[in-house]
Structure 1
Amino acid sequence: MLKEVIGVGDTELEALNDAKKQLGLDETDDVEFELIQRAEKKMFGLFGGAPAKVRIIIKDTPEEKAEKFLREVLDKMQLSSVEVEKKSEEGAVEFNLSGEDVGFVIGRRGETLDALQYLTSLVANHSEDPYIKVTVNTGNYREKREKTLESLGRKLAFKAIKTGKKTSLEPMNPYERRIIHTSVQKVNGAISWSEGEGAARHVVIGPDPKVKGNRKGGYNNNRRGGSRRSYNSNNRSKSASVNPDRVPLNEGGETGLYGRLDK
């Protein structure tokens, strides 16, 4: 949205200061302006003459557009009681939501929160301004969600090694799929990949066929007498050890949820 005002004064400087005042700016603030009309003195101090006129046009920054859109959506959702706290840094802005009704903003497994962040980012970056990363969070929900996904990925990775079977997860956005991949790829003996298209795209976790000892039915089935060793943290084979040096698949990019949203 553009903010346009026209300042009027006996001199060009007074007209400029009048326009700044209308915008709530200080007289010392630097702004771009257009001189519409120069001041003209009256002839003989009695006839003619005209005041100076200056126009200032200010467009909303990506952060301002994002915040305005976010508040409008919350109002439409009848969640005007939800408070919005903004935290800005270079190339990024985070909106933290709080209040009694914030649970409605999160939605099932964070789907509503993700959608709200996605749309807010679209609005913020729908211009010629430099791209900014937009995050919409509530408390430390996203941090908790990330830890939950990391734990899930590790658990299913060890399960895949033990049973020799693959497991398909529910559909997730690219950012959450990357968290799962990162967790799984750090466990020797397990791999993960994505299947499906669009909203149905999901992660599959299974045993790594390149690792010796991984076979259908579990990697301990070849023990004498067919006995199977109990599965716990004290008897995991070396093939199931955690390896922090394995490189994870990168589905989410470096720009957070959904990756960069181009214009």
Structure 2
Amino acid sequence: MKQVTITSKSVEEAVQEALSQLQTSEDKVEISVIEESKKGFLGLGAKPAVVQVSLKADPIGDSIDFLKKVASNMGVDLTVDVIEGEDETVLDLSSDKIAILIGKRGQTLNALQYLTNLVANKSSNEYQRLILDAENYRERRKETLERLAHRLASKALKINKKVSLEPMPSMERKIIHMTLKSNSKVQTSSEGSEPHRRVIIKPSSM
């Protein structure tokens, strides 16, 4: 956490000097008065004020700064919209080059999401769950995975053998499991270790 300690004639002057050095506003800092100023008598015994000013943790702001820096290094001019939810916050990315940030089957987007969550929770006292989306990619991917789940369930029943999917992150494996949960003819499970963990679909009769 970035902080400065300022000595000045008064607490007010010390705070203003600190805000200037930190290049921020008073609502974004925590102020601790270490010592109040004293005027003294006839110029004797006067003491300056000593104030410590610290930047408040801003996990969402830090996450957005991180994403824009990474995107800039990839040659992408990025816009980030914040969508607050009850249990999670969605950072919706948009750019003329958004495909670069999504990557093949969302691999780059998933990697960025993992790193962004690390950044957010490094400076936060409460756990932050961030979801990265990119121009509605998550919804399109969900629909693709649901179709894939139904198709491979039918295949598993047809050949009467288990079918293994490609490795997926946990949030995508969950979509497969939930899609086939109501299908009593098949069972799903996950096998392997991250990041190579995959969903297995097999007939319930096996």
Normalising TM by the smaller chain, what interval? 0.7 to 0.9
Please state whether the residue corresponding to 1:85 is helix, strand or coil.
strand
Aligned residues: 205
2:50 to 44, 50, 53: 53
The match for 2:6 is: 6
Q: Give me the whole-angstrom Cα distance separating, in 1, the residues matched to 2:122 and 2:150.
A: 38
**Shift of residue 166, structure 1, vs aligned partner:** 2.6
Q: Output the TM-score relative to the length of structure 2.
A: 0.84
Q: Tell me what 1:156 maps to.
A: 152
Query: Residue 11 of structure 2 aligns to which amino acid in structure 1?
Result: E
* TM-superposition CA deviations, 1:91-118 (whole Å, max 9, x none): 5322111111111000000000000000
User: Over aligned residues, Cα RMSD in angstroms?
Assistant: 2.7
* Distance of aligned partners of 1:140 and 1:30 in 2 relative to their CA distance in 1, 3 Å threshold: closer
Query: Residue 35 of structure 1: SS of its match in structure 2?
Result: strand
Deviations 1:225-245, CA, capped at 9 Å, x for gaps = xxxxxxxxxxxxxxxxxxxxx
Specify the alignment match of 1:114 in structure 2.
Answer: 110
Residue 17 of structure 1 deviates from its aligned partner by: 5.4
After superposition, where does 1:135-154 map in structure 2 within 5 Å?
135-154=131-150
Letter in 2 for 1:68: D
Q: Point out where structure 1 has 5 or more consecutive residues left out of the alignment.
A: 211-263
Higher strand share: 2
From the two aligned structures, give the one with the greater helix fraction: 2
Following superposition, the deviation at residue 198 of structure 1 comes to 2.6
Deviation at 1:180, TM superposition (A): 0.8
Change (3 A) 1:194 1:92: closer
* 3-state secondary structure, aligned to 1:63: helix
Following the alignment from structure 2 to structure 1, what is the Cα–Cα distance between the partners of residues 82 and 74?
20
Once the two structures are TM-superposed, the CA of residue 21 in structure 1 deviates from its matched residue by 6.5
Is 1:77 aligned to residue 74 of structure 2? yes
Q: Which residue of 2 aligns with 1:39?
A: 37
Query: TM-score, normalised to structure 1's length?
Result: 0.67
CA distance in 2, matches of 1:100, 1:128: 32
What is the CA-CA distance between 1:145 and the residue it aligns to?
0.5
What secondary structure does 2:122 align onto?
A: coil
Q: Closer, same or farther in 2 for the Cα pair 1:31/1:117, shift >3 Å?
A: closer
**Rounded Cα–Cα distance in structure 2 between residues aligned with 1:189 and 1:91:** 33
Equivalent residues of 2:92, 2:132 under 8 A apart = yes
- Provide the C-alpha distance between the structure 2 equivalents of 1:66 and 1:97, rounded to a whole number of angstroms: 12
Query: Which runs of 5 or more residues in structure 2 are unaligned?
Result: none
